[in-house]
């Protein structure tokens, strides 16, 4: 159909601009000199606004109206119908926001990220506070334009997890929280696991080499990406055939960089596995951030911290750091990397305590959006919840409220995706185990290709064709359920701790 061709041509224009924006974001957080921040913010604001205006243009509106009409919609293929549905959703949401407000938001969030990096390094929340206040002000304005039925926070959740609501999240939390707290209490009563050998001196060169080896092992295509260093690890898609990952190296320990790399590699496998047929359309990305996180958390934890994977990969780790690990048995290393202990930093949290970090952030950002909490009181509120959930208080804001880049980037509503990702990951892996009886043996042999192809067929290749809940049902036969995650962590960690 001619009208479909016109829609795809317009979407390609938008995608090309977005590709340039992504490349600039990647450079901003890897190699850009600090004095370039002001200019970069303006450039990002201009290009993002240009993309935004094309998305909400009269031409886009006319094309979508034509394709959504009864006569034309019945002649669309399933793929074309999905394309129209997704683009129409994005169009209507974007159309609600005045372009000048969106441009202001992009510029503010870009400047805010630069301010956050400095504030984190200097442990100076006060210097970052005005930026966060401005971001919240802009987001509240945007929420009113978006509209919502029950809670203002719902409008922001929809940006990252279509179909998810505050009430649904609260129901999941109510089922998950008591089980996790009970398990943590039981594990805490057990003798602590020795992980002292995970601290020491680990060269950046060796860590980078090991991270590269881990990415190769899980199947990351280096001909379609690269690994770089940053202050806060991320994955970014520049376009089809260019999906980049980053990590952070700490000379005193290597676990964060190794598993951070595997985590980002899981994101990248998703993007690299999207069908080329979806290139230059708004379908060529993940179904939601929760589904995206399921792929990274699966690779990082369900695979990367499993006994099966380590039985294959641990010798490579020992060769990377022979002075420290040559006499440490596999069993000891396995237990050490799965140690459960309350921690200050979310990205370093174990599988059992991690979701509590997300619940904390969910509650705080919901309160911020609903004006139940002021920015100036945020550090104290953060520390109070850390004490309530974990029994510890961060010694600095850099290890507390300033540790994540998300709020600086205006990504309020994003954090719940991490928790949902954990739940999706276990449910997906459980289905893969049922369909691939020899899967654990293959992983122990270093063969992840069967699992990777299963994920590609069930999840990756579809991009945004299906909504998250529909994709979950197609892959597992069920709606998302916390019980799979609860059963997984209880079984795994009771075994590790001998309960």
Distance (Å, whole) CA 115 – CA 358: 23
The secondary element (H helix, E strand) that includes residue 227 is strand 227-229
> What span, in angstroms and rounded, lies between the C-alpha atoms of 478 and 427?
9
Complete edge-to-edge strand list for the sheet that includes strand 235-239: 227-229, 242-247, 235-239
Structure tokens at 186: 């039981």
DSSP strand pairing (235-239 vs 242-247): antiparallel
Among 302, 328, 329, 312, CA closest to 199: 328
Taking a C-beta distance cutoff of 8 angstroms, is the pair 87, 15 a contact? no
Q: Measuring CA to CA, how many Å separate 231 from each of 254, 343, 363, 364, 474?
A: 15, 19, 26, 24, 37
Residue 169 CB-density burial (10 A; 0-12 exposed, 13-18 middle, 19+ buried): buried
> Quick count: other Cβ atoms within 10 Å of Cβ 407?
27
Pairwise CA distance, residues 467 & 457, whole Å: 16
**For the chain, first and last CA: distance in Å?**
63
DSSP state of 192: P
Q: How far is 364 from 296, CA to CA, in rounded Å?
A: 25
- Here the tokens at position 337 are 């990397």
Task: Return the H-helix or E-strand segment holding 229.
Answer: strand 227-229
Structure tokens at 434: 């049922």
Residue pair 295/269 in contact by the 8 Å Cβ criterion: yes
- The catalytically annotated residue of 161, 264, 293, 351 is 264
Instruction: Check if 453 is active-site.
Output: no
| Strand segments (E) across 230-368 | 235-239, 242-247
DSSP designation for 65: H
CB 398 within 8 A of CB 120: yes
Q: How far apart are CA 66 and CA 44, in angstroms?
A: 32
Please tell me the distance from the alpha carbon of residue 461 to that of residue 306, in angstroms, as a whole number: 26
- Distance from C-alpha of 135 to C-alpha of 139, rounded to nearest angstrom: 6
CA neighbor of 113 nearest in space, from 238, 228, 20, 27: 27
Give the residue numbers marked as catalytic.
264
């Amino acid at each position: 159909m001619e009208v479909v061709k016109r829609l795809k041509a317009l979407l390609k224009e938008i995608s090309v601009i977005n590709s340039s924006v992504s490349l600039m974001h990647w450079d901003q957080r890897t190699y850009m000199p600090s004095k370039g921040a002001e200019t970069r913010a303006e450039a990002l604001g201009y290009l993002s606004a240009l993309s935004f205006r094309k998305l909400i243009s009269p031409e886009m509106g006319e094309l979508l109206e034509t394709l959504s009409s009864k006569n034309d919609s019945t002649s669309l293929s399933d793929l074309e119908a999905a394309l129209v549905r997704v683009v129409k959703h994005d169009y209507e949401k974007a159309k609600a926001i005045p372009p000048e407000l969106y441009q202001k938001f992009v510029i503010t969030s870009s400047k805010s990220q630069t301010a956050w990096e400095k504030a984190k390094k200097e442990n100076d929340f006060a210097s970052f506070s005005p930026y966060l206040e401005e971001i919240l002000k802009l987001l509240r304005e945007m929420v009113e334009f978006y509209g919502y039925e029950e809670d203002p926070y719902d409008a922001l959740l929809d940006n990252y997890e279509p179909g998810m609501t505050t009430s649904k999240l609260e129901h999941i939390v109510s089922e998950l929280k008591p089980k996790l707290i009970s398990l943590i209490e039981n594990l805490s009563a057990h003798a602590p696991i020795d992980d002292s050998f995970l601290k020491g001196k680990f060269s950046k060169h060796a860590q980078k080499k090991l991270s590269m080896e881990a990415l190769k092992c899980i199947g990351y295509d280096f001909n379609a990406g690269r690994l770089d260093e940053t202050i806060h690890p991320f994955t970014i898609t520049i376009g089809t055939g260019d999906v980049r990952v980053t990590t952070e190296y700490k000379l005193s320990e290597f676990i964060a960089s190794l598993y951070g790399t595997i985590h980002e590699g899981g994101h990248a496998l998703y993007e690299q596995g999207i069908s080329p047929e979806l290139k230059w359309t708004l379908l060529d990305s993940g179904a939601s951030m929760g589904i995206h996180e399921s792929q990274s958390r699966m690779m990082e934890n369900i695979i990367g911290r499993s006994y099966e994977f380590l039985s294959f990969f641990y010798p490579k780790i020992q060769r990377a750091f022979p002075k420290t690990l040559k006499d440490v048995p596999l069993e000891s290393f396995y237990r050490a990397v799965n140690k459960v202990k309350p921690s200050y930093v979310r990205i370093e949290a174990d599988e059992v305590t991690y979701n509590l970090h997300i619940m904390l952030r969910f509650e705080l950002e919901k309160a911020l959006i609903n004006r139940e909490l002021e920015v100036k009181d945020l550090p104290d509120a953060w520390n109070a919840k850390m004490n309530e959930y974990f029994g510890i208080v961060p010694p600095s804001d850099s290890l507390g409220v300033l540790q994540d880049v998300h709020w600086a980037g205006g990504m309020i509503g994003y954090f719940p995706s991490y928790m949902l990702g954990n739940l999706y990951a276990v449910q997906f892996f459980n289905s893969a185990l049922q369909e691939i009886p020899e899967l654990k043996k293959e992983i122990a042999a270093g063969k992840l290709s069967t699992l990777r192809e299963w994920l590609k067929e069930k999840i990756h290749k579809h991009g945004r064709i299906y909504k998250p809940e529909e994709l979950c049902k197609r892959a597992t036969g069920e709606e998302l359920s916390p019980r799979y995650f609860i059963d997984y962590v209880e079984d795994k960690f009771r075994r590790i701790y001998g309960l």
